Amino acid sequence: MRAVDIIIKKRDHQELSREEIESFIKGYVSGEIPDYQASAWAMAVMLNGMTARETTDLTLAMAHSGEVLDLSSVVPIAVDKHSTGGVGDKTTLVVEPVVAACGLPVGKMSGHGLGFSGGTLDKIESIPGYRVNLTTQEFLDQLRTIGLVLTGQTADLAPADGKLYALRDVTGTIQSSPLIASSVMSKKIAAGAQVIVLDVKIGLGSFMPTVEKAQELAELMVTIAGLAGRKAVALLSDMNQPLGCAVGNALELREAIDTLHNGGPADFREHCLTVAAQMLASTGFADDIEAGRSMAKKALSSGQAWAKFRTLVITQGGDVSYIDEPSRLPVARLIEVVPAPRSGYLSGIHARIVGETAVLLGAGRSRKSDPVDYSVGVVVHHKVGDRLEKGQPLFTVHANHIELLQEARQHLLDAHTWSDDPVSPLSQFYGVVE
Ligand code: URA
């Protein structure tokens, strides 16, 4: 089977067979199919879509591009969560230690930043020494011993997603339901999760513009989970404004640390409690969502979630002094607080513009090989619906180059929109698909 014929078939709106999909994924992982052909194929999929059958076959081919873990002898029930990508979404850094502190082990494979959306791996890699390339054996041993793993795609686990994910980031092929669904679900299946809580983001700072599109993606992923013998529950959550306040790697890590110390922005804390409660309830570890929420709150207030996070960092080789004293984490040279240009109610904080601005400052990549700057980013100080007086701090830019700081300031001023009349706060959740 020639790769070019598979690309042409998808370009011409035809359905690919399972054999064609498997052969393409195998060829790409082995290096026989080069990046330029995989890019063309991904663009054809992005433009012409895939049927649910093709997406399921793609997911399974990607999951089986490496080992598929069976965790039944390691943990009583394997649970995981995954977000479809947003701005300021540092949820994993809080939720996984919270759930693990409640006694439910979590082993997770996360990703690097994708387009304007940040990646958990870039955030946690702000900690010097932290390893995100655990081997399968290390993954299993750590899950057994400390009940918590946070690593990346490896040569062993879902390597097809590792390669495709990085390629999509820089080829304009992120915003595609079949590519997102297969990327997310292949990692979850490969890492052995039996129960998966999906956080499907909706709105300006996500890859799904409407509740309807997000619902379709959620249903597709829940169906794929079922076909693979797993259970998935999807929360549909808002991503029109940044989640929490911080956007940028070390800045978000600091905010996650505050939250693990039982503080943090109210919306972010609420988001984490909801996701954690869903994980605890969906596995039967808590009787219901309310009981799960109480357990999660206790894990934060007792310090047990923080203790779990410290253990995670130490076990994966991170220098724990950086999280014990977050002021040691990378700091940008130029920090500017920008005041509100007028009085009024905030009617919007365009999450995608904020995310793109963080990437412009260096928090994300424009080419696969680009390094990320852990120190830069943005902190927004308000939420939609807040009333401000002219001159109050509106946002803070953390930059390492003056020209970029100036450009970022203007983008961020444009991202904030105003009303003279009161504005309702945005909903945080729009529903659950199971
Ligand atoms: N998260 C993933 O793992 N993959 C995507 O494509 C989007 C979000």
User: 154 pLDDT exceeds 80?
Assistant: no
Q: At 115, is the pLDDT very low, low, confident or very high (cuts 50, 70, 90)?
A: confident
By percentage, how much of the chain surpasses pLDDT 90? 91
User: 249 pLDDT exceeds 80?
Assistant: yes
**C-alpha pair distances (Å), 188 with each of 63, 68, 157, 345:** 8, 10, 10, 41
Pocket test for ligand 1, best of 80, 82, 189, 213 (most atoms within 8 A of CB): 82
Pocket test for ligand 1, best of 173, 184, 188, 201 (most atoms within 8 A of CB): 184
Per-residue pLDDT of 155-182, as tens digits, reads 788 899 989 999 998 999 998 999 999 9
Ligand 1, pocket residues at CB < 6 Å: 84-85, 111, 114, 165, 179-180, 183-184
The pair of structure tokens assigned to 13 is: 């709106």
For the entire predicted model, the pTM comes to 0.93
pLDDT of residue 117: 86
* Ligand 1 centroid distance, CA of 377 (Å): 21
The sign of the CA dihedral 23, 170, 139, 149 is: negative
pLDDT of residue 1: 85
Per-residue pLDDT of 260-290, as tens digits, reads 999 999 999 999 999 999 999 999 999 999 9
The overall average pLDDT reported for the chain is 96
* Ligand 1 centroid distance, CA of 297 (Å): 28
Pocket test for ligand 1, best of 59, 114, 116, 150 (most atoms within 8 A of CB): 114
Nearest Cα neighbor of 236 from 265, 256, 266, 216 is 216
Give mean pLDDT, residues 244-263. Answer: 98
* Ligand 1 centroid distance, CA of 49 (Å): 16
Per-residue pLDDT of 205-247, as tens digits, reads 999 999 999 999 999 999 999 999 999 999 999 999 999 999 9
Per-residue pLDDT of 349-387, as tens digits, reads 999 999 999 999 999 987 767 889 999 999 999 999 999
Q: At 331, is the pLDDT very low, low, confident or very high (cuts 50, 70, 90)?
A: very high
Active site amino acids: 82, 161, 168, 183, 187
Q: In what order do the strands lie in the sheet with 377-380?
A: 246-247, 377-380, 393-399, 334-339
pLDDT of residue 159: 92
Q: Is 415 helix (H, G, I), strand (E, B) or coil?
A: helix
- Give the nearest ligand 1 atom to 110 CA: 3
Q: What is the DSSP letter of 372?
A: P
* Ligand 1 centroid distance, CA of 37 (Å): 21
